[in-house]
Structure 1
Amino acid sequence: MAIVARWKEQDGAVYSGFIDEGKCHRLDSGLCTQDLLDMGLEATLEMASRIVRTDAGTALDEVTLMAPLEPRSMRDFVTFEEHVEGVRKSVDGAAGIMPEWYEAPTFYFTNPHTIGGTGETIGIPAGCEELDFELEVAAVIGAVPQSDGRNLDTRMAHRHIFGYMVFNDWTARDLQRREMKVSLGPCKGKDFASTLGPWIVTADEFENLHDGDGFLPIQMKVTVNGEEIGRDLLSNMGWPFAELVAYASADSVVRPGDVLGSGTCGSGCLAELWGRNGAKTPPPLKTGDVVEMSIEGIGTIINTVGERRTATTRVPARSRPRLRVRADV
């Protein structure tokens, strides 16, 4: 096993490397997390063994952890049946689960450029009155020899999983609710922030924990201001991660540095509870709230909610004629 991290030291310099027994061990000069993902898991484990053995390291409590990578892309799935049932009622006002959900895993692409790490303050986006969190696990893709990441079967897809992180998919529910009525998908309700971290735990650490169907029965928990809001098992996913990776690669490609989210677990967000309770209880997040997410065997991320940005961002459409040819000027 290796714990891959990215951090800022007291002089402001940013490094990637490995965490071991409370110390941060830098990668060789010029290398970063992406280089490890391009090397693949086996080569990374060999490098980790060498560096941890020979490098004195810096104390973990003397650095500031950052998101462990800069993703090349981010797909976020929706794989927990319980979550779909509750949040659909909250966001769409509909009961039950659409039959299409059971037919194949569904995902959307989110913003890889607004990634934060544990300890960061997450501002409330302009126009949002219903800020929410989403408790997820994220898998990160690494290279596999002789594989181009296309049309993978589940066996090869499993080999492409380099490791796992905690993932908070922050959501502006009121913005999302309006956007979803256009039947395309979320945009400004989602793209303002995601938290990944606190590090990547390599996939070999979990090999003996998979059940017979490839699921990981590890505990997930989220609290707000110290009060538990929800918990679940990752094994309640409708599809294991290997099937998600394989599906993402079908008639497409996954590359080292791609991140795939599990989707929100059961009771892992406020909107699901609003749908079940028929009221906004617990209330939406507000400035100063502290959200803490913990995944068994991976770690914990903590973020504080910041101020709301004051701005008007909507741009109403202008009425247009439906001419098929250019009008005479």
Structure 2
Amino acid sequence: MRLARVLLPSSPVPRIALERDGCLYDVAELERMREGLLLDEDEGLSVAEDFFTRVFSVGGAGLDVLDDGLCAGNRPTEARLWPDALLWLPPCLPERALFVQLVGTADGEEPRYHLGNPRGLLGHQESVAFPPTELRPDVEISIAALLGDELRAATVDEAERAILGFTILLGWVARQQERTSGVLRARDFAATLGPVLVTKDEAGALDDARVRLRVGGVIEELARPAAPALSFAESLAFVSRHVTLLPGDIVGAPPIEGGSEAARRLGLTFGATLEVAVDRLGKVAARPVRGPAPPPFRRVKS
């Protein structure tokens, strides 16, 4: 399945959508249209529209039935959502998520990671406000796993089973702040996630997925990444020995080598839109901008 979380102008409540062949369909509308057929509660179909409840807490109950209908060609126009008329949100619930970012390690080393700021997660096509002192934007491109089960001192097999799906992650970096205030301060202001959560069965193996960047009309494809020293599951199992991971949590893989350099070569500047496409995960776009100068953080003494 390919799941999105979107906000419509007609409702203040975020909605769940299913994506097929680049088209979005409102889950609530699909279910209303099937009401006459859904007579059995044994089918496990939930009427919950909350993304966290429906996707993570109850494992996407009933969404596979709706997706099977879309795959079979049952694509009602009445349930169609138009991207120009909605706001894309991260395919998670940031206020309930832990955000873990893995750092690249050499073969034989233990995984390294840091905790990110989930409240800084932005959706597809959102502007990214950088600290005003930054001279130019920088970005690290990753694939993120979203979890569907709790992991506490997990085995590798348990960690593998806990991965619900994957999405694209753009980790924005303020290099000026990195030099003066360290790695975490340089990354705690924003990251872009999405636009869709692609379930593990549909995403398949992503180790050799092609990654393409575009700024303006110029495109660059990254070299195929080498096999990681540790699998996603091995890294998750290690992290779970130190931090309890829960359904809905986000774990970013180590940044893909060459992504930051490619963005610079393409001329990524404030006001330019970066588009990143990953095989089977779709494409995500974001526009870095220089944020406004903040007020003083302490009272000026007279």
In structure 2, do the counterparts of structure 1 residues 242 and 232 end up closer, same or farther at CA, with 3 Å as the change threshold? farther
1:34 aligns with 2:35: no
Q: Does the CA-based 8 Å contact 1:119-1:304 persist in structure 2?
A: yes
Query: Equivalent residues in 2 for 1:230-269 (5 A)?
Result: 231-233=222-224, 236-269=227-260
Query: Equivalent residues in 2 for 1:35-50 (5 A)?
Result: 35=53, 36-40=55-59, 43=61, 46=64, 48-49=66-67
1:15 aligns with 2:6: no
1:104 aligns with 2:105: no
Q: Report how far residue 238 of structure 1 moved.
A: 2.5
Query: Residue 144 of structure 2 aligns to which amino acid in structure 1?
Result: A
In structure 2, do the counterparts of structure 1 residues 246 and 47 end up closer, same or farther at CA, with 3 Å as the change threshold? farther
Q: Distance in 2 between matches of 1:313 and 1:51?
A: 55
Decide which of 133, 139, 144 is 1:133's aligned counterpart: 139
SS at match of 1:17: strand
In structure 2, do the counterparts of structure 1 residues 70 and 232 end up closer, same or farther at CA, with 3 Å as the change threshold? farther
Query: Equivalent residues in 2 for 1:171-190 (5 A)?
Result: 171-180=173-182, 185-187=183-185, 189-190=186-187
SS at match of 1:104: coil
Q: Distance in 2 between matches of 1:246 and 1:232?
A: 28
Of structures 1 and 2, the one with the larger relative CO (CA 8 A, separation 6+) is: 1
Q: Does the CA-based 8 Å contact 1:229-1:268 persist in structure 2?
A: no
Question: What is aligned with 2:210?
Answer: 219
For structure 1, the 5+ residue unaligned runs are 82-98, 210-214, 275-280, 316-329
Query: Residue 123 of structure 1 aligns to which amino acid in structure 2?
Result: A
For structure 2, the 5+ residue unaligned runs are 29-45
Question: What is aligned with 1:191?
Answer: 188
Q: Does the CA-based 8 Å contact 1:132-1:284 persist in structure 2?
A: no
TM-score normalised by L of structure 2: 0.79
- Cα RMSD (Å): 2.9
Q: Report how far residue 298 of structure 1 moved.
A: 0.3
Q: Does the CA-based 8 Å contact 2:139-2:173 persist in structure 1?
A: yes
Q: Report how far residue 264 of structure 1 moved.
A: 1.2
SS at match of 1:233: coil
Q: Does the CA-based 8 Å contact 2:211-2:279 persist in structure 1?
A: yes
Question: What is aligned with 2:36?
Answer: none
Q: Distance in 1 between matches of 2:230 and 2:169?
A: 18
Q: Distance in 2 between matches of 1:206 and 1:293?
A: 16
SS at match of 2:193: strand
Q: Does the CA-based 8 Å contact 2:148-2:247 persist in structure 1?
A: yes
Q: Does the CA-based 8 Å contact 1:78-1:106 persist in structure 2?
A: yes
Give the stretch that moved more between structures: 44-53 or 239-248: 44-53
Q: Percent identity?
A: 21
In structure 2, do the counterparts of structure 1 residues 191 and 230 end up closer, same or farther at CA, with 3 Å as the change threshold? farther
Q: Which has the higher Rg, Structure 1 or Structure 2?
A: 1
Q: Does the CA-based 8 Å contact 2:225-2:257 persist in structure 1?
A: no
Q: Distance in 2 between matches of 1:218 and 1:291?
A: 19
In structure 2, do the counterparts of structure 1 residues 231 and 12 end up closer, same or farther at CA, with 3 Å as the change threshold? farther
Q: Report how far residue 119 of structure 1 moved.
A: 0.9
Question: What is aligned with 1:69?
Answer: 92
CA deviation map 1:115-146 (0-9, x unaligned):
11111111221322242011111000002xxx
Q: Does the CA-based 8 Å contact 1:221-1:232 persist in structure 2?
A: no
